[in-house]
Amino acid sequence: MKTRCKMICREVAANASTKWNPDVKTQEPVVLYTARLYPVSDGSAENKAFFAATPCGSVELSTMMEKHFEPGKSYYLDFTPAD
């Protein structure tokens, strides 16, 4: 069974972190961009329908790509069971 949520990005924060480099067997500094997404709640009939099914919650994702998420932009989030 597949579940679809509609979320809005409220914040993207840059954080210093490290990643493992197997070639030199050491940690290297990187910047992680952490996006915080919350269920949509208003604005359109579609948003109101999604809010009726998912009134609360949050998702926090980190990526090394700076422009992957934009504050104020909405995203669909699909959950599909993995075997």
Residue predicted with more confidence, 33 or 1: 33
> Is the separation of the CB atoms in 76 and 27 below 8 Å?
no
Domain count of the chain? 1
Q: What is the pTM of this model?
A: 0.78
Give the residues across from 8 on adjacent strands: 38, 74
Domain that holds residue 52: 3-79
The maximal CA–CA distance of the chain, rounded, in angstroms, is 53
Q: Is pLDDT of 55 > 80?
A: no
* Interval 16-52: pLDDT, tens: 988 888 888 899 999 999 999 999 988 899 988 888 8
Whether 5 and 37 have beta carbons less than 8 Å apart is answered as: no
**Angle (nearest 5°) at CA 16 between 62 and 71:** 45
Residue 54 has pLDDT above 80, yes or no: no
pLDDT at 63 over 80: yes
**Contact by Cβ (8 Å): 3, 20:** no
